[in-house]
Structure 1
Amino acid sequence: MAKVIFFGVDLHGHVNPTLGLIHKLIERGEEVVYYCSDAFQDKIEQTGATFRSYKGLLGFGTNDGSGIDTFMVFADFIVNKSHIIVEALQEEVKQWQPDYIIHDAFSLWGKQFAERMDIPGISVFANFPFIDEMADLDPDFFMEYVLRAADDPIYKKYKGQHDMYRKLLDKLSRMISIKHGLQNVNVINDIFCSKEALNILFTSREFQIYADAFDESHLFAGYSLYSRKESVEFPYEQLDGRPLIYIAFGTIYNELEEIYKTCLEAFASKEHQVILSAGNKINLKELGEIPDNFIVRPYVPQLEILKRTDVFISHGGANSIYEGLCNHVPLVVMPQVFDEYMGALMVEKAGAGIYLRQAEVSAADLKEAVEQVLTTPSYRDNCCRIQQSFEATGGLDYAVDGILKFVKQRVAHETL
């Protein structure tokens, strides 16, 4: 039995995909300590892992806006947090003497702990995987969907010049390196991905954009639903068999009032039932009168709701998209920030839903998109196809096999 530390990120969309993996490792006899923020303690302990708190040191969130400036703010945030966490937890981590470390791709501190302790490190991509090598295949995609720089005047002027992205990335990497005293940093692979010699991806090559950019160090493990014991009451008895629309935009956005009002306007007629998971940062009274075909709650048991859903209107977070696909529920995606735009494009390319590109979606456009999804069987068929590609990878058993093999080989190599 080996001792393992997992360093997580305190976002539902990053914690939820890892729970099944942690549970499988523990079933195989590994002893796992999982670092995260206090709000996730119960959920993590249900896997059998030992919870350890970041003690208020983390606090992931969103930064409004897009483009290169926002990208740099986020990179700066990750590096600063890594410095703080490594300094604060180094004695605690050292005393536990882990045999290897697994960490979220955004948890740079996990990679740094593994390097300092000279033990195997493994990165887990809970978000939509993006790596620098993808830009070698399509630099414009990276500029527009990862850096979100489509409206940047310099990009507009020089769009189409193949080396523009590479020059920009090198400049950003040098800026981060100088500011934080780092060496030979690739801001994508080393900071946003914390890439290791083994990287676990919760998707399939069939669903991944530019899958050829991912070499053998990337293990595609599909996406597996892990049952979450949530003590959330919901009036299932009110669901009467009408087509069910589920609307959720995650748990961290603040300014969604206008989007929710658009949803109320679009589906106020009686032919559908609608469940709106509004989050706890919206005053529901500000939404005005709620049509009686709507069920509005701050939080709902998403996995149970998706089993009954016909169309999922989502912000395009990885957790939401993958859970929708696994339940064969086609999506209408209205991305808000960062990699959600890439997720929306992946859904569109897979034929599993519709990507609404408008900055401000009208009620008419939203209703039209939902009706198209409801009346076109191929959207659901393609969800089934993608879910089957997840299963074909071998899933969590394949991921755990890969982890244990990697650690064994690394240890054997070091003893030679």
Structure 2
Amino acid sequence: MKTILFDMYHGIGHTNSSLKLAKLLKSSGYKVVYIGHEQYCSPAIKQGFDFVGHNQDIAPSMKQLELLNKRSMFFENINNLFSDSVIKEARRNLTTFKHIVADIAPDIAIVDEEHTARYFFYKALGIPTISIQTMPEKTPDVNIPPFTSYFCPQEDSVLSRYMVSLLWLRQRIKNCFMYRYYLFKYLGQDSLSITKRLIKESGSSFSQLVSYKSSFKFCVKNTPLLVISATDFDFPRHPKNNVFRIGPLKDIENTINAGSPRFESLCQKLQVLKKSEETFVIFCSLGTITFSYLKKTICFFKKMKKVALMNAKMQFVFSVSEFFEIEQLQPVPKNVTVFSNLPQNDFLQYCDIMITHGGMNSITECIFNEVPMLVYPLSPQWDQPGNSARVVYHGLGLRGKIGRDSPKTILKKINQIKGNLEGYKNNIRQMKKKFEEKNESIEVVNIIESIINSYAN
């Protein structure tokens, strides 16, 4: 039995995105193993997949660098520069990582695109790799802007193509600036600089094997890429060699939490209300990784509280994440129910609109549950702005600016969707039909088998 190792980025959403693929491979006779932080791999563990813990980043993460920044950053970095303490720790982490992977002995590793640097470490171990992209494809296309852009392109428009080229130029300048900024800020002790040193020590050339032409970070050249975000949700895109657009691959069963008695009571209440009277339910969640944008998150949910007070006939349900102190919303209006977390996919069947940050998992679940969206991107650095553009492009909902829109503006957009609810739902149903056809396909298993065979040859 061949072993396939999943090395996903440390985020529950990334693990959730891979579950359907992992199940298909397991049912096809492969042994599937996940490696990473136990907290972020918990959905895979609950699904019964083998798991090997590795809770340490090889190079210092941004979180570790920011923690250093809060202390005596300059003097710490001067000390690290002359003592080589950071690179020594990274070497120890890499040695531990190599021992763990050697014990698993995978036939191939499926590596999250946000873990791109690990490709080189698997290569040093002689393990073939496949990249997996949970967001829209991040390499350039003449018709499609970077996924960090809010711009909605137009087909067969010279002006649109010119705008796209400018956006890609801006993204490349931004990427280069940020790499150099962190290089000087941390005196060569940043994650990319340390990774480059480790890769050089492993006998590979970083500059020859990577491309900075990317919506986010960088990508490895000449490595098979599986794009598991929904192909039909993307803008029209040119085909590329070695890129397999297999999405959506979405495990639409709930994989996070069993419903609590309070959650089940709410569902029963909404079920009764929807049968007996005209009840409009709005669900608001900004995803699972709100800790990096906590101030923005708190401010937005306070706005949403005002929106609820302005329209007492609507029922609002907030999922604020474990990092949010619910007491900050006290007193909670009568038409608002607040959870730290809830089984989102299970709950969406009771909702009329979802207000979302625009993560790919949330959008896919809304489409499968036929729920129109109002998208407020939380992070300008990830795919959320580009996803919001795609929601508008396909007529699946509206979007706004999370810091700029007032409670009145938010309510106005909710009422716009409500006023054309059936129109949005019809567009979503058409998209759902395409999703279902792709989601039931086992084409991806054949693709992975052909990639494994090509490496063997």
Interval of TM-score (by shorter of Structure 1 and Structure 2) = 0.7 to 0.9
**Is the CA contact (8 Å cut-off) linking 2:231 and 2:247 kept in structure 1?**
no
Distance change >3 Å, CA 112–CA 161, structure 1 → 2: closer
The equivalent residue for 1:74 is: none
Write the distance in 2 (CA, Å) between the matches of 1:395 and 1:345.
27
Contact conserved, 2:3 with 2:106, CA < 8 A, in 1? yes
Indicate conservation of the 8 Å contact 1:221/1:396, yes or no: no
Name the aligned partner's letter for residue 26 of structure 2: I
SS at match of 1:17: helix
Other-structure match for 2:302: 261
8 Å CA contact 1:25–1:400 kept in 2: the answer is yes
How many residue pairs match? The answer is 383
Alignment check: 8 A CA contact 1:101 1:122 kept: yes
- Give the residue type in structure 1 aligned to 2:282: I
Tell me which residue corresponds to 1:103. 111
TM-score (norm 1): 0.81
| Counterparts in 2 of 1:405 and 1:85: CA distance versus 1, 3 Å | farther
How many angstroms does 1:55 deviate by? 2.4
Residue number in structure 2 paired with 1:145: 149
| Distance change >3 Å, CA 186–CA 348, structure 1 → 2 | same
Alignment of 1:284-295 (within 5 A): 284-295=326-337
- CA distance in structure 1 between the partners assigned to 2:65 and 2:193 by the alignment: 23
SS at match of 1:300: coil
- 1:249 matches 2:276: no
Report the CA distance shift for 1:96/1:281 in structure 2 as closer, same or farther (over 3 A).
closer
The SS at the match of 2:317 is strand
Equivalent positions of 1:3-402 (< 5 A) are 3-57=3-57, 86-131=94-139, 133-134=140-141, 136-137=142-143, 141-142=145-146, 145=149, 164-165=169-170, 168=173, 171=176, 180-181=196-197, 182-184=206-208, 185-188=210-213, 191-194=217-220, 197-212=223-238, 214-229=240-255, 230-233=257-260, 234=263, 235=265, 236-239=267-270, 240-241=273-274, 242-253=279-290, 254-255=294-295, 256-268=297-309, 269-337=311-379, 338=381, 339-357=383-401, 359-376=403-420, 377-393=422-438, 395=440, 397-402=442-447
Residue 28 of structure 1 and its aligned partner are, at CA, apart by: 1.0
CA distance in 1, matches of 2:21, 2:221: 18
Match of 1:52, SS?
strand
Counterpart residue identity of residue 410, structure 1: Y
For the pair shown, the structure with the greater C-alpha radius of gyration is: 2
What is the Cα deviation at residue 195 of structure 1?
5.9
Q: Following the alignment from structure 2 to structure 1, what is the Cα–Cα distance between the partners of residues 147 and 455?
A: 36
Q: Residue by residue, what CA displacement relative to the aligned partner does 1:233-268 show, whole Å, maximum 9, x if unpaired?
A: 112222122121110011222122221111111122
Q: Does the 8 A contact of 1:222 with 1:389 survive in 2?
A: no
Alignment RMSD (CA, Å): 3.4
Q: Quick check: 1:137–1:213 contact (8 Å CA) kept in 2?
A: no
Worse-superposed segment, 349-358 or 333-342: 349-358
CA positional deviation for 1:403 = 0.9
CA separation of 1:348/1:61 partners in 2, compared to 1, >3 Å: closer, same or farther?
farther
SS at match of 2:33: strand
Secondary structure of the residue that 2:378 maps to in structure 1?
Answer: coil
Superposed structure 1 runs of 4+ greater than 6 Å apart:
58-64, 80-84, 158-161, 176-179
Which residue identity is paired with 1:187?
A: Y
Which residue matches 2:186?
Answer: none
Percent of aligned positions with the same letter in both sequences?
19
Cα 1:278/1:165, change in 2 over 3 Å: closer
